[in-house]
Amino acid sequence: MDEGFCIIEFLDGPHGPLSDYIHIEANAAYATNAGIPNVIGQKLREMVPDEADAWIARYGHVLRTGEPIRFEQELVATGRYLELSAFRLGSAEDRLVAVLFKDATARRDAEEALRSLNETLEARVVEEIAERRAAEVALQRAQKMESIGKLTGGVAHDFNNLLQIVSGNLQLLQSDVIGNERAERRIANAMAGVQRGAKLASQLLAFGRRQPLEPKVVNAGRLVVGMEELLRRSIGEAIEMEMVVSGGLWNAFADPTQIENAILNLAINARDAMDGVGKLTIEVQNAFLDEEYAAKVSDILPGQFVMIAVSDTGCGIPPEIVDLVFEPFFTTKAEGKGSGLGLSMVYGFVKQSGGHVKIYSEVGEGTTLKIYLPRVHDSEDVAAGPELLDMSGGTETILVVEDDDEVRATVTELLRDLGYDVLTARDAASALPILESGVKIDLLFTDVVMPGPLRSPELARKAKERIPEIGILFTSGYTENAIVHGGRLDPHVSLLTKPYSRQMLAARIREALNKR
């Protein structure tokens, strides 16, 4: 577009002196840009009455002061963006102002496009930085979880062995103090301490995603409804409880015992948050987590889930600590009122099951914690009736393989008290010659984690090769990855977790022998 110019002459009018002007000269470029043909001789207020005051004030200032001006302006009529300059011709009495201009629309559009591009690039950089930061946080969390998992695994292995020694000897001692009420009470108190220690180790393994799960296809709605009586007893009569189970509920794939433990933990936390008075709501429904949601959350894939929500009307959690509640040993309860492992256990179990956990909380309003468990299309596994434990002993021969001398001695005595013949070995390598000796062995009872080049699963395989009818029962305070893969106990594997009671030992030994 050519550069244009015009000369304007100020006029007196109804609005006062110098309140209007006419164009006395203009080139073709002016008419094209202004969108007003035949502009010569026309008064401004008649051409553009809505814009006249602004133009008259601007050019009137040039006329009165003699000071040139430069400015940029978009014309309403044409949408063109102009660079303009104006200066006075002669004196103020001459009433003449010259205006020069050129079309800057292309430059303005290019600048806006560049600015938009820069804003887009900046937004992308910010987004990439946020994504990188999220990835770093996710990596740090994964590394932290791996470290915690290794730490808790090692601690659980040794700790549960110690608990097994204490527990086994206490149970052996029980028969020696029958009738001594004071001694029996002390043994009972000591056994309660063992159980608390075992629970602590179990919760640590759950948070570290190292517990052996036995997932099944479950209807979470039916499972939750079946817990109603237990939950009512746990939260007390002063708390109103409501269960909302949606129709057409999908099946989930998870360990039903751990689901029950998680819901019970959440219900007890809710009870404490409400100080024993309020409303607890448990909802079960189908849910879909889309790609947009999954992109914002680490360690979860989009898909279909079964959602279990536990809501309370309690005190709520301050926003500055809500992200810390899943950390082990972190608790919002008063000192001595909680271990800080309940929510971390829930978190670890759900993550180990391929699910997701989300918490919503508002101070003074309450808290909702949602558990998402992966959906499966398989039919629900038929729940077995109450397990009848056969705690009778027997006369069969059992090979006990255990690297801890005191654990081995304790379990040997427990088994002999049950009537069994017991052979012992301190590791898999020393157990193999006994299996190859031709001695009749009915059951291999072996620890999972032991030193030496021969691993327990391999020992079990070799035992089956040599004695096809032999029973196999594993035991451990921590399974490592020997018989647990993907967080799940390998198929057809029997595991007795340490520390175990005399009754459970008797029942699982009998079960393994009967399965042969």
Query: Do residues 348 and 438 both lie within one domain?
Result: no
For 172-226, write each residue's pLDDT tens digit.
Answer: 888 788 888 888 888 888 888 877 777 666 666 655 545 566 788 999 999 999 9
424-439: average pLDDT: 92
168 domain-assigned: no
67 domain-assigned: yes
Q: How many C-beta atoms lie closer than 10 Å to residue 309's C-beta?
A: 19
Query: Do residues 349 and 411 both lie within one domain?
Result: no
Among residues 103, 129, 163, which one ends one of the domains?
A: 103
176 domain-assigned: no
Query: Do residues 337 and 240 both lie within one domain?
Result: yes
Residue 230's SS3 state is helix
Q: What is the CATH number of the domain that holds 505?
A: 3.40.50.2300
Query: Do residues 252 and 362 both lie within one domain?
Result: yes
Among residues 347, 376, 405, which one ends one of the domains?
A: 376
Closest-CA residue to 446 (of 491, 484, 493):
493
263 domain-assigned: yes
Average pLDDT score, the chain: 83
Residue 333 vs residue 197, higher pLDDT? 197
Q: What is the CATH number of the domain that holds 47?
A: 3.30.450.20
Two tokens, residue 6 = 């015009």
| Amino acid symbol at 465 | E
Which of 161-170, 326-335, 369-378, 464-473 is the least confident region?
326-335
* Distance spanning both ends of the chain, measured CA to CA: 97
Residue 308's SS3 state is strand
pLDDT interval class at 426 (50, 70, 90): very high
Range of the domain at 326: 220-376
pLDDT interval class at 340 (50, 70, 90): very low
User: Are 33 and 78 in contact, with CB atoms under 8 Å apart?
Assistant: yes
pLDDT at 386: 46
Q: Is the Cα dihedral 260, 265, 270, 275 positive or negative? A: positive
pLDDT at 67: 95
Distances in whole angstroms, Cα of residue 46 to Cα of each of 118, 351, 498? 43, 75, 98
Two tokens, residue 194 = 């063992």
Reply yes or no on whether the pLDDT at 434 is more than 60.
yes
Residue 93 vs residue 205, higher pLDDT? 93
Query: Do residues 444 and 356 both lie within one domain?
Result: no
Query: Do residues 431 and 364 both lie within one domain?
Result: no
pLDDT-above-70 percentage for the chain = 84
109 domain-assigned: no
For 494-505, write each residue's pLDDT tens digit.
Answer: 888 888 888 889
How many structural domains comprise the chain?
3
b/e burial code for range 494-508 (CB count within 10 A of at least 16 → b): ebbbbbbbbeebbbb
Query: Do residues 323 and 363 both lie within one domain?
Result: yes
Instruction: Report the C-alpha gap between 414 and 506 in whole angstroms.
Output: 9
Query: Do residues 360 and 406 both lie within one domain?
Result: no
389 domain-assigned: no
Among residues 77, 103, 129, which one ends one of the domains?
A: 103
Instruction: Report the C-alpha gap between 72 and 3 in whole angstroms.
Output: 14
Instruction: Report the C-alpha gap between 220 and 243 in whole angstroms.
Output: 12
pLDDT at 184: 83
Query: Do residues 233 and 367 both lie within one domain?
Result: yes
Query: Do residues 430 and 289 both lie within one domain?
Result: no
144 domain-assigned: no
pLDDT at 144: 62
The pTM of the whole model exceeds 0.85 = no
Angle, CA 475 vertex, CA 147 and CA 452 arms, to 5°: 70
345 domain-assigned: yes
pLDDT-above-90 percentage for the chain = 34
Using DSSP bridges, classify how beta strands 96-103 and 81-89 pair: parallel, antiparallel or unpaired. antiparallel
